[in-house]
Each structure stands twice: as C-alpha cells, then as structure tokens.
Structure 1
Amino acid sequence: MTVSDPVVESVVATIGRSATEIRQGLIGRRGAVEESENPTGDTQLEADVWADDLLGDRLASLEGVGQYASEERAEVVDCGGDPEADDGVYAVAVDPLDGSSNLESNNAMGTIFGVYDAALPARGERLVAAGYVLYGPITTLVIATEETVAEYELTGGERRLVERDLELPEDPVVYGFGGRVPDWPADFESYAREIERELKLRYGGAMIGDVNQVLTYGGIFGYPGLESRPEGKLRLQFEGNPIGYVVERAGGRSSNGDRSLLTVDPTEIHQRTPVHVGNGDLIERLEDALA
C-alpha cells in the first residue's frame, strides 16, 4: 500500500528506507556528545546527532518538503517553498531517536515524524500524515493518514504491509505513565491508582514503545505535567501531535489533560506539553480527574 499524496509517500518511503540504516548505525554511537545539549536541554548522544543529520539531509532534499524541523535542532530549516502558501508543499517535523537514553541499556526506541500542511510550529489539526518507526525485535513502521492507519515490517530498505486498517482494541489491557511518582500532581496520582488496579503496567522508558503497546493491546499512555515541570516533558510538534494523530486516527483519543492535543495552539517549535493517549473512555476519565 502507498500513500496517495506523492510528497507524503516520498517522506514515508525515505524514512522507511533509512530505518534499517539507522538501526545498524546505532552500533558504536551510544556515547554522549561532549558538552552538547539539544534545544530543550537534554544531553545529546552521538546517535541522536547522527540520525538527525541523516534524516535531515534526505528529507530536506525531497521535492515538496518546504521545512524540516527536528527535536535536535534549535531552528526550523527552510528547504524552499512555503507550506502556508504553496499547495503540495509540506513541513516535516521529526524526533530522530525517541527514547535514545535506552541505548545504554539496549532497549527499544523509535523515530517519530509528522507531515504538516502549514508552516511550523503548527496545530496538530494541520497534520496530513504522521507515524513512527519502532526499533524493537522487529523494525516496524506505523503510518496514519486521513484514510487509515497501517503497520509495516521494515527489512532491507523495503516495507511489507502487516495490517491495513489498524484500530485500537476496544477492551483496554495495558497502561504506562511517565515521570517520577513523587513528582506527580495529586489529582493525576489518584487517577493512576485507579488505573493500576484495572490494567497491566507496561512502561519501557521510550514513549514510542509504550504507545505501540497501547495500540496493540488497548489502554493508556501518559506523561503528565509534573509538580516540578507543569508544562510536561514531551514536545508538542515532534511527539505529542504526531502520536496524538496516530492514536486518534486509530479510534482512540489524545489529550493534554484538558483537550485534544491536536487542538493546542503552539507558541514555539520546542514547546512542551503533557501527553495522554489511549482508549476514549480512559482519556475521558483522565480529563474528569484533572478538571
């Protein structure tokens, strides 16, 4: 199956072909870059910088890509063309290695991307496609468009369709909540205590792995605003919007604790946000608890 829009298909195909190379290229790049942080203060690993350079060079060169933005870069890269004014020109936002801190312990991580038909930063409602690569025991790609959510296995630079119309299971099974428990606000902690009596804990330290568990089994993933960081940890453009888009297209809901992530007005490219995604009734209960 291919994506109907040729520019979006080029973006998806480029990320899919690059995934095998990224996975292999993680070997030997587990160390931190000396005295280097990304724009929001996280320590950069060699793999973060390398994956960003690789994807940035390839995606920025595609016809129809007018902007490239990465969690690892301070500014949006102008690739020629204005996504706000030119039909068929898009902006691509990428988290090159979500969960790269898992490299040290050799656990799962991923690549997240969103394709916007507006200049960045943009509301999630301006996404035309979003998805992620999961570097697990098998390298997989999940891509959401206005038409469907599909899952592929990636090997040798090619993608093989696994499921054409991926939907969130109706009966939730798993949950995963980020942040230190002593740092959770009291209303979120009360909600979490209810959920832990109902569902199985699945939390691996890389959002994309935890979200994939929710898509596979049903449930909820959340990284709330914390007492020490009320704005949350995850980035709206690179993580919250794309993952919210995928889960909503799969029949679930997303929320910043108050409303859909896709309706949040961005103020800057590296804006942080609380992120909650999963089955609709669980998100509704969350919003009620936090109201």
Structure 2
Amino acid sequence: MEDSRIALPIGTTLDRFIKKKQDEFQYATGELSQLLRDIALAGKVVNREINKAGLINIIGPIGSQNIQGEDQQKLDVLANIRFIRALTKGGEACAIVSEEDEEITDLQNEGKYVIAIDPLDGSSNIDVNVSVGTIFSVYRRFTPVGTPITKEDVLQKGQEQVAAGYLLYGSSTMLVYTTGHGVNGFTYEASLGEYFLSHPDMIIPEDGKIYSINEGGYNGFEKPVKDYVEYCKSNSMSARYIGSLVADFHRNLLKGGIYIYPSTEASPAGKLRLLYECNALAFIVEQAGGEASDGRRRILEIQPEEFHQRVPLFIGSKKMVEKAISFYN
C-alpha cells in the first residue's frame, strides 16, 4: 500500500494559514496574526464549556441583565470573561467593547487594535441544544499607542474594519474570518486541538431561495418588509429561521439566502447591534460577494454614535437584498 494512502493529509491549520497570508495585511508585523490566534484560543475554551453545558450548572439565566436590558445567561458571562482574558493576555488589543459591558474596557497597554465583540450570540438557545456563536470586529485605533482610549477609536464605520469574523458552535465548531482579502472558514478538530481550513475562498450565491425572518413580529413590520415577505411566499421560497444570528447567517452564506431583522413597532431602531454584530457580518458578506443594508443605507457606511447602537439588517445574497430594499423605493 502506498504511504499516501496510509496517511492522508489532514489539511492546512489556522496558524499556518495566518502566517502564509500575513503579507496581505497592510500592517504585516504579526500583531493581527496574534490577535486572531487569541480569539481562536478563546473560542476553543468557550466551545469546551458549551459542550459540557448540560452536565454542569452553567445553563440558564444568571439573574442579571446586560446594558441592553436583556437577561444574561450564565454562558454569556462566562464567554465574555474568556474572550476578555485571552485578548488581555495576548497584548495586541488595547480596548474591548462587548455586548455584555456598558462601557469600553480600556486594557491600558501598548496594543494597536480595538475589538468589538458579541461573546455569545443566541446563548438562550443552549438550553435546547441549538447552535450559537461569537461575532467579532477588529479596528485599528486612531489615537497614539499608550494614550487613553477614546470614543473615536471605537465608534468607527464598518468600512474601517481591518478584520472580522465569527465562531459557530454547532454540529461542528467553525471559525470564519476575513481581513479584506476574501473569506475563509476553518473547522475545529477537537482531538488535535486545531482549526483546519475546510471552506477556502467562501462565496455566497448571488441569488437564493431562503428567507430568514421572525414572522412572529409580522404585524409590527413596516409595509415594505411585509410586502417582501409576501413576495417570498408567492415565489415559493423556503422560510428558515433558527433564532441564532450566526447560525442563520452561516447557512445563508453557504446556500444563498437573506436574513432580515427589521425595525418594528416595538423596536423602531431594529434590534441587532451595529458595532459588534452587523458591521462584522456585513464585512464578511461583502467579501463573499453579498450585500448588507439597513433598508436604506449600506451597513458599512453608517457612522456609529453609540457603543450599543441598534440598526435594522438585511443581509445575504446580492440579488435578494437588492430585491428586499427595492420595496422601500
């Protein structure tokens, strides 16, 4: 038997891929590479905690609320601690803005990057064993290194991102990220403790047949959104809605589709956060050939005014997003 048949290649690891692609990044000094490794490491730890969530007492609400007034789950707090700890020890991040914290966490170091993160999106779904995720954005600070961080360092438009990505904790754990040179996905191999390149050069189909929206809020939708939903139904499209943003987005990225979280009577500004949810996924989807809009503006061109600012979101296949926002015209 040939040696190659006995030991098949296992693929490219995340570390090797990052090193190979480092020169594509305009600040190619190794700092961003280390930052991505820190996030990947924290993702391994959070993945471990999620996988044993049903065996120990870390599911369910913790009894407090975050800055958005949402009930915090125990794993929300745990994931937040894990990512902040990994980024602090890594030393490349100078500040972190998290969904779970009201103010900026200024790490008071020599780091050059600001991290905006939703440590555990969809955490309430863990109780029923549904996929959840982590979403992150990376920005380069404006102010001199070593000085106190400012709001201007954090409140940057999405088009200023130098990297963005997400981790999906599901039937397999995946890390998907971009540095502005396409989108690549890595699957975690637990027995080796490594992420391996499994989805190179990810491209979202230009069109699709899946629409993802919580139709339970239909009566509170704006008329253009109602009209688009009826258009989808009349064209025999498939409704698919998991209720975990990362999981819904990931499916549509692979298969083609649109995810919508519109403004409603109850949430006129929308519900998803611009800085650490919408900007990251918009950067990824555009790099994969798709689009992201709030119904009137390109997501990446919106100027944030608050750390936890909310916006409506239409994101996915290019033709589907264009069709959806055409109803506003």
TM over 0.5: yes
Give TM-score scaled by structure 1 length.
0.93
1:18 and 2:42 correspond: yes
Question: Is 2:84 the counterpart of 1:48?
Answer: no
1:85: which partner in 2?
Answer: none
Q: Give SS of 1:61's match.
A: helix
- Separation of aligned partners in 2, 1:63 and 1:234: 29
Query: Which structure 1 segments of 5+ residues have no match?
Result: 83-87
Which residue type is aligned with residue 158 of structure 1? Answer: E
- Deviation per CA, 1:99-152: give whole Å up to 9, x if none: 111112110110001101241122101101101011110001111111110000
Deviation at 1:91, TM superposition (A): 0.5
- Closer, same or farther in 2 for the Cα pair 1:287/1:60, shift >3 Å? same
Task: Give matches, 1:138-217, under 5 Å.
Answer: 138-156=172-190, 157-178=193-214, 180-198=217-235, 199-217=237-255
Q: For 1:197 and 1:110, locate their aligned partners in 2 and report how far apart those are by CA, in whole Å.
A: 32
Percent of aligned pairs sharing the same letter: 33
Larger CA deviation: 122-131 vs 18-27: 18-27
Give 1 or 2 for the bigger CA radius of gyration.
2
2:53 equivalent to 1:30: no
Deviating beyond 6 angstroms after TM superposition, the runs of 4 or more aligned structure 1 residues are: none
In structure 2, how many angstroms separate the alpha carbons of the residues matched to 1:197 and 1:98? 32
SS across alignment from 2:154: coil
- Give the AA of the match of 1:63: G
Amino acid at match of 1:30: I
Q: Which residue of 2 aligns with 1:113?
A: 136
Q: Quote the offset at 1:208 in angstroms.
A: 0.5
The structural deviation recorded for 1:163 is: 2.2
**Inter-partner Cα distance in structure 2 for 1:128 and 1:186:** 36
Match of 1:123 in 2: 157
TM-score by length of structure 2 reads 0.83
> What is the CA–CA distance in structure 2 between the aligned matches of 1:58 and 1:242, rounded to whole Å?
20
Q: CA deviation at 1:211?
A: 0.3
Measure how far apart 1:282 and its partner are. 1.6
Q: Name the structure where strand makes up a greater proportion of residues.
A: 1
For 1:32, the aligned partner's letter is: P
Shift of residue 204, structure 1, vs aligned partner: 0.3
Q: In structure 2, what is the Cα distance between the partners aligned to 1:10 and 1:177? A: 36
- The CA RMSD over aligned residues, in Å, is 1.6
Report what 2:119 is aligned to: 96
Question: 2:297 corresponds to which letter in structure 1?
Answer: R
Q: Report SS of the residue matched to 1:49.
A: helix
- Aligned to 2:75, the other structure's residue is in SS state helix
Q: Is the CA contact (8 Å cut-off) linking 1:61 and 1:79 kept in structure 2?
A: no
Q: Secondary structure at the match of 1:96?
A: strand
1:220 corresponds to which residue?
258
Partner SS, residue 33 of structure 2: helix
Partner of residue 61, structure 1: 89
Deviation at 1:68, TM superposition (A): 0.9
Contact between 1:172 and 1:219, CA under 8 Å: does it hold in 2? yes
Does residue 277 in structure 1 map to residue 315 in structure 2? yes
Q: Is the 8 A contact 2:137 2:164 kept in 1?
A: yes
Residue 287 (str. 1) matches residue 325 (str. 2): yes
Q: Deviations over 1:76-116 (max 9, x none)?
A: 1112358xxxxx81101110111111112110110001101
TM-aligned CA distance change 1:275 to 1:49, over 3 Å: same
Number of matched residues?
Answer: 285
1:15 and 1:158 map into 2 onto residues whose CA distance is 13
Query: Partner letter of residue 147 of structure 1?
Result: H
The one-letter code matched in structure 2 to 1:74 is E
